[in-house]
Homo-oligomer: A and B are copies of this chain.
Amino acid sequence: MPVHLTAPDAATLKPVAGITLGYAKAHIRKPDRKDVLVMQLSPGTRVAGVFTQNRFCAAPVTLCREHLAAGNEIRALVVNTGNANAGTGEPGMQHARETCDALATLLGCQAGQILPFSTGVILEPLPIERLVAGLPAAVAAQRADGWLDAAEAIMTTDIVAKGASRQVMLGGKQVTVTGIAKGSGMIHPNMATMLGYVATDAAVSQSALQAIIDHAVNHSFNCITVDGDTSTNDSLILMATGQAGNAEITESSSEFEALRAVMTEVAVELAQAIVRDGEGATKFMTIYVEAGKDREECRKVAYAIAHSPLIKTAFFASDPNLGRILAAIGYAGIADLDVNAMQLYLGDVLVAEHGGRAASYEEAQGAAVMKEAEITVRVVLNRGSAKATVWTCDFSYDYVKINADYRS
């Protein structure tokens, strides 16, 4: 069961002026399932994206990159679940192009103004006829308040639909930021196997939007992991429709940091929701590494801990078998790490220092923390002033069950 996560109420996901969303049940993989989403953007909407670093990236990812790189004015996004259109070679590229062609015809724009996304099983041909056949219904069903339906339409092994919304005053105007995301396995930096869409009605320059997405992704989706796998389809898209009536925000605007903060906040909430709904998750863990030489080494230590199946199973069992954390710190790849100089905390409890168990530590303290559903592991390296945070979940029987059964 997801850890402290419930689906958002439809009313909490505020419409973003200039964006409408509609879904269809196109039987991409299974019948009677919302599996195609169309998100239409008003003219002039600015769009920025970041995508998976996987060399085996999916065909739609390649096409998204092309359409954004060309500087096209993006008019719609289309997402299908049930099939990732990855590992599908040249036919997969053709299918992604056909999807864009078909939606462009329906919307009266160019194919290059569409961004396509797919998520689901890899290495199987996309059922392009069913996808295209589903588009008219999705287009017709569009509503401004369709965000919760949209969040549901992009789910795969997710148990809970993921959405977040904020409203703030910027430059004297009320600005809305609403986002949805999906993903629960194959979650890793660069990035989570996830799709994320965060929209605002604020007017933002293209370069400011790019700066915001770089900051937001590095503090949200690139700080989470479920199983260390990096997917072929990861995509995060930021959209700014410019309909809030504010003066365009640039990187030198006084409102820039406030907008970046609120968009990052929505991205963090979505990213954490992905971990809370991690496949089989029963615990939500924050791995906080501080006093490192640089952020990179802090991240190495945090990810060594977050990826260790031994540690993740111990958390599942609520077993304070904390030596496994020391072992992970030791193999994280800091060649000159002085293990005698660092401290390890579980919650507020000092567990280890001087290269061994802290004199004050008693197992009952560790056991008490381990029983919580939300646990912070804190490592103080005492060799600098950098820090990093990673969010992850535990590793349960259900993780194995879900992934052993996923296709069946």
Contacts and interface: CB of A to CB of B under 8 A. Distances in A.
A186 interface: yes
Contact of A401 (B307, B314, B340, B397): B397
Interface residues of A, number: 69
A326 B357 contact: no
Nearest to A311: B229
A330 interface: yes
A322 B87 CA distance: 10
Contact of A313 (B308, B330, B403): B403
A339 B327 CA distance: 35
A168 to B, nearest CB: 36
A232 B92 CA distance: 46
Please give the count of copies of this chain that the complex contains: 2
A37 to B, nearest CB: 22
A352 B356 CA distance: 49
Interface stretch (A48-56, A207-215, A256-264): A48-56
A328 B87 contact: no
A400 B406 CA distance: 18
Contacts of A323: 84, 86-87, 121-124, 232
A228 interface: yes
Contacts of A324: 122, 229
Contacts of A335: 55
A188 to B, nearest CB: 8
Chain A interface, >50% SS class = loop
Interface in A54-81: 54-57
B90 A327 contact: no
A235 to B, nearest CB: 15
Nearest to A326: B87
A330 B400 contact: no
A32 interface: no
A327 B88 contact: no
B57 A321 contact: no
A404 B319 contact: yes
Nearest to A308: B229
Nearest to A317: B404
A388 interface: no
A231 interface: yes
16 contacts: A53-B331, A56-B339, A84-B323, A86-B327, A87-B352, A123-B352, A125-B357, A188-B331, A227-B309, A227-B310, A232-B327, A310-B403, A313-B400, A314-B404, A319-B406, A319-B407
Given A91-B356, A228-B308, A229-B308, 11 more contacts: A53-B331, A89-B355, A90-B356, A121-B323, A122-B326, A123-B357, A124-B357, A185-B310, A309-B395, A317-B403, A399-B400
